[in-house]
Amino acid sequence: MTKTFTETDITIETLDAHLRDSGLVPYNVQPDCIRLRSENGIGFRVSLDTDRKFVRFATYLPLNRQAPIEQKHELARRLNDEIFLPVFTIDQDDDLIVTYSMPFTGGLIAETFVSIVNRFASLLEFVVETYNRDGLIDFGAPQTVPAVADAGSARTSGELLH
């Protein structure tokens, strides 16, 4: 039998529990949102608009700070023209905002929710792979942990770092 949540059942706690039951483990859950990551680590959040009865999926993709604003707006226009359902906008920091709102008026089929979570994560991966040939989407250089430079900078007391 298909599991369905009624409108009153839909809370962050309920959605978090269902994601975990489905094998998806959020990396952070707050009272107002669930934070997840795509396979390649692109973070996104799931939140609720209980007044208007929507589950909202959202993230931002950082854009190259040196790129002209016209190029950024053109990317958003192109994505809105070519990709079905989500909305792409440029925020006040000149980054690309990606949102999708899923209605839950009358309830929500649990499998559909998990499917949309997976699809949103896949969509983010697709956008970065397909629409970033010019390097406009810019996550920055990977962070590396510096190695101990010399014996004088190493801990000598046997103290553990964690």
How many angstroms separate the CA atoms of 80 and 70, rounded?
15
Q: Is the pLDDT of residue 139 over 50?
A: yes
Each residue's pLDDT tens digit, 51-91: 999 999 999 999 999 999 999 999 999 999 999 999 999 99
Residue 143's pLDDT is: 60
Place of tokens 């997976």: 118
Asked whether the beta carbons of 122 and 38 are under 8 A apart, the reply is: yes
Each residue's pLDDT tens digit, 6-31: 999 999 999 999 999 999 989 899 99
Q: Which residues contact 129 (CB under 8 A, 6 or more apart)?
A: none
Asked whether the beta carbons of 121 and 72 are under 8 A apart, the reply is: no
Answer whether 0.85 is exceeded by the pTM. Answer: no
Q: Is the pLDDT of residue 146 over 90?
A: no
Taking the domains of the chain in order of start, what are their residue ranges?
4-139
Q: Is the CATH number 3.30.1460.10 carried by domain 4-139?
A: yes
Q: Which residues contact 112 (CB under 8 A, 6 or more apart)?
A: 102
* Percent over 90 (pLDDT), the chain: 81
Half-sphere exposure of 153 (CA within 13 A, CB side): 5
